[in-house]
Structure 1
Amino acid sequence: MPMSSPPDPLCTAPPWTTRACRCCGRFWPLAVLAAAMLAAWLLDLDRYLTFAALREHRAQIQDLAAAHGVVAVLAAVAIYVGVVGLSIPGATILTVAAGFLFGTLGGALVALAGATAGATLVFLLARGTLGPVLAGRARPFLGRMECGLRSDAFSYLLALRLMPVCPFWIVNLVPALVGVPVRTYVLATVVGILPATFLFAAVGAGLDGMLDSPAGLDAAAMLKPKILLALGALAALALLPVAFRRLRRH
């Protein structure tokens, strides 16, 4: 019976090498995302997401949208996904531009699809890479938030989406770290960004005359107190079920 030869020590990977390979396999998508975000920052891509840029290039953009139809819609969704995924400031301008190009309903649907897809990609990426590593280490710091998000995830996320008191990217990441279900996350994102999305798309649909105005337009001008109060009221309504359940417990 032939004797099996002992394994060659030069061909046997040490345990730390195996662990390193597993870590690289888990974190390479996050590294790619971080590199893309750094590139976007170095290239100053947000300079294209301004009303001044929209005013300067509106004729070319309108011609492209009219000439390419469905392809232009898909390109707009892809750009929106990239902006949200890379956390580039300017999603509001993109929503207004989508309304300007495709009308209120078409622009709102483009923005809704792009924002939801971009936010969900970040959520899934964070859950698959950072989630397993930080779940135990971050639990002492996220304990109370984790408890609230697990029991009333939809209401909390809906309120955060309706009234953007936290940066969009934080609302994308924290639910991934505390184990919010994907279905709940996506549904709360869609419903939560719907009112503001239609509002800014409607502004964009009537933007032609405003772009010709010497005063111009900026995002702050559109966020009037009445609009902020309305969004705040919707966010408060989203938290009513949480308050009701808390009262019943006590």
Structure 2
Amino acid sequence: MLLLTTALMMYGLGRLEMDLMRAWLEEAGWWAPVLYLVLYSLGTLLLLPSTPLNLMGGALFGTGWGTVWTSVGAMLAAILAFWLSRHLGRGAIAGRLQGRWQALDAELQQGGMWYLFAIRLLPIIPYGLVNIAAGLSGISSGDYLLGTALGTVPGIFPIVWLGSAGVQALETGELLPLFGALSLIGLLMLGATIYQRRRRFPWDDAHEASKDRNRP
């Protein structure tokens, strides 16, 4: 899925006039990152896939500033989603999810900051969904903020780098940064696979239970 999204993004970027985009960014000044932060935060709150937004941050602002603005947008969305889900929907939603929710709630409370940190590093788990799930759980606000702060930048950086490297490859034909970004993402995916095998996530158990119930 990540490779497909990347390919579509690079195709779209290839059809854009990057010189015009840079001119617009220079003319917009500080409004450009502000608009990006608003769009990123809203997209994450609406549970839209964050990968295209991360790639866009790298394509528009480069690896350095792209990582900064994307991380700020992700943190803003994480704090807002956590607060909303904890104060507005915890009781109602947790009651409907029943056993599946109880397993996830127990994992988040027991694992705390480091469990959340590990989840933030896994590109296979939607960022926005984790925000809401954590708010509905019994994890402390301190553990949530620390785990999110520690895991957001390392989890976002490779995708932002890929967006920047993709633009560089299209403009100059230099492929080394692109391969570097893909390699780093591959290492994260490998870590995700190893972590998932050593410690099953609650939603995996729920999925297996659902399959067992549907078997004749």
TM-score of the superposed pair, with normalisation by structure 1: 0.61
Aligned residue among 67, 70, 78 for 2:38: 78
Note the residue ranges of structure 2 that are not aligned, 5 or more in a row.
Answer: 199-216
1:111 maps to 2:70? yes
Alignment partner of 2:187 out of 226, 229, 240: 229
2:115 maps to which of 153, 156, 163:
156
Total equivalences in the alignment? 185
Q: What CA deviation, in whole Å up to 9, does each residue of 1:48-78 have, x standing for no partner?
A: x833333333333221111122111111111
Corresponding residue SS for 1:50: helix
Structure 1 position 133 matched with structure 2 position 133: no
Partner Cα separation in structure 2 for residue 146 and residue 62 of structure 1: 45
Structure 1 gaps, min length 5: 1-45, 241-250
Residue 95 (structure 1) shift? 2.2
Structure number with higher relative contact order (C-alpha < 8 Å, ≥ 6 residues apart) = 2
Structure 2 counterpart of 1:65: 25
SS in 2 for 1:152: helix
1:206 aligns with 2:192: no
For the Cα contact (< 8 Å) 2:122–2:155, is it kept in 1? Answer: no
2:149 is the counterpart of 1:185: no
Q: Distance in 2 between matches of 1:138 and 1:207?
A: 41
Contact 2:62/2:161 (<8 A) preserved:
yes
Q: Is the 1:154–1:185 contact (alpha carbons within 8 Å) kept by the matching residues of 2? A: yes
The alpha carbon displacement at 1:158 in A equals 1.2
Cα RMSD of the aligned pairs, angstroms, is 3.4
Measured in 2, the distance between the counterparts of 1:79 and 1:59 equals 22
Stretches of 4+ aligned residues off by more than 6 angstroms: 234-237
Query: Alpha-carbon deviation of 1:223?
Result: 4.5
Q: What letter matches 1:88 in structure 2?
A: L
Distance 1:83 1:143, change over 3 A: closer
| Paired residues of 2:41 and 2:76 also in contact (CA < 8 A) | yes
Q: CA deviation at 1:142?
A: 2.9
> Is 1:50 matched up with 2:2?
no
Q: Tell me how far 1:152 sits from its aligned partner.
A: 1.9
- TM-score, normalising length from structure 2? 0.69
**Aligned twin of 1:174:** 133
C-alpha contact 2:44 2:74 (8 A) present in aligned 1: yes
Q: Work out the percentage of aligned pairs sharing the same amino acid.
A: 26
Structure 1 residues 199 and 135: alpha-carbon distance in aligned structure 2, compared to 1, 3 A threshold: closer
Q: In proportion to residue count, which structure has more helix? A: 2
Report the CA distance shift for 1:103/1:164 in structure 2 as closer, same or farther (over 3 A): closer
Distance across 2 between alignment mates of 1:209 and 1:139: 48
Moved more, 153-162 or 201-210: 201-210
Instruction: State how far apart, in whole Å, the 2-side matches of 1:208 and 1:140 are.
Output: 46
Deviation per CA, 1:121-157, whole angstroms, max 9, x where unpaired? 2222222222032445545443333233113221211
Give distance in 1, aligned partners of 2:113 and 2:190.
17
Structure 1 residues 194 and 235: CA distance shift in structure 2, 3 A: farther
Larger Rg belongs to? 1
Contact 2:13/2:167 (<8 A) preserved: no
Cα–Cα, structure 1 residues 82 and 54, in superposed 2: closer, same or farther, change >3 Å?
farther
Structure 1 residues 235 and 155, CA, compared in 2 at 3 Å: closer, same or farther? farther
After superposition, what is the alpha-carbon deviation per residue over 1:4-51, rounded to whole angstroms, capped at 9, x for unaligned? Answer: xxxxxxxxxxxxxxxxxxxxxxxxxxxxxxxxxxxxxxxxxx9xx833
Q: Which residue of 2 aligns with 1:23?
A: none
Q: Which amino acid aligns with 2:12?
A: A
Give the Cα separation in 2 of the matches to 1:92 and 1:140.
Answer: 30
Structure 1 contact 126–173 (Cα < 8 Å) conserved:
yes
